[in-house]
Amino acid sequence: MDYFIVEEDRASGFTGEVSGRHKWILPGIHRCPACRVTSSGWPRIYPSVDLTPVVALADFEEPRAEPIEEYERLCELVRPLLPPGTSLEPGAELGPLIGRAQGRFGPLVSPVPWWLLAQREALEKLQAEGLRGLKGCATQLRFRQRNAPELFELELLPVGRAHPDCLPSNRKPPCPRCGRHGLTRPDDKELLLDASTLPGHLDLFRLEDFSTAIVCTERFVEACERLGLDGVTFHRLVSA
């Protein structure tokens, strides 16, 4: 199975712009007692998670850094509401994407490298193809135009890792307390996937260790090409 990075197609001619954030957010960690680093956040995004059962919603409204004990307390409130088998990290974003949007959008939209949106018709066509793990979550975007598209955010679960051969040889192990690994994502041309960690049940996901990287299978690419769904490009990755 071949795998690809999904990225915005800047040559597509679409003018759509999105400015927003997710409804709730976990705080970062202020000076982890183990690694002494303040972690402001990595893209763990779960748009399907509804935090309204949580009593203290105000604790999840403003980006900030907290002592690790407070961060861990808030994680325990959220954890039962997560998709099965997923994890939390500092700055994890939860709930629907809210904000403003304008312009002309393609069937698929990647306004920032770690978001992937789809118009309703495109999402329904992809789901009808039998692609695995495609879950669209309604956004709460306000449009400054008539005939605005209905955009859904695809929930991208963190699965799969980069192969050690594309990472620095002098890298340190993740912090045992906060989990921070402090690595910079390799360039797409140098990113090598660890085949033993790649999921057999998903055609679209984000990497667990470099969660800004949206990865899809060749089945996803072939379906998009067959259906004429543009707005993004695909760069082939190597796995080992």
Q: pLDDT tens, 123-159?
A: 999 999 999 999 999 999 999 888 899 999 999 999 9
Residue 1: both structure tokens together: 């199975």
| C-alpha of 187 from chain center | 18
CB atoms within 10 A of CB 129: 15
Q: Hey, where are the domains in the chain?
A: 3-11+157-239, 19-94, 98-154
pLDDT the model gives residue 41: 67
Residue 93 three-state SS:
strand
Mean pLDDT of 204-232: 96
pLDDT at 5 over 80: yes
> Distance between CA atoms of 64 and 85, rounded to whole angstroms?
26
Q: What distance, in Å, lies between the first and last C-alpha atoms of the chain?
A: 11
Per-residue confidence band for 122, with pLDDT thresholds at 50, 70 and 90: very high
Whether the CA torsion 101, 102, 105, 110 is positive or negative: it is negative
> Distance between CA atoms of 224 and 240, rounded to whole angstroms?
25
> Distance between CA atoms of 191 and 184, rounded to whole angstroms?
11
> Distance between CA atoms of 29 and 64, rounded to whole angstroms?
8
| C-alpha of 167 from chain center | 21
pTM of the entire predicted model: 0.94
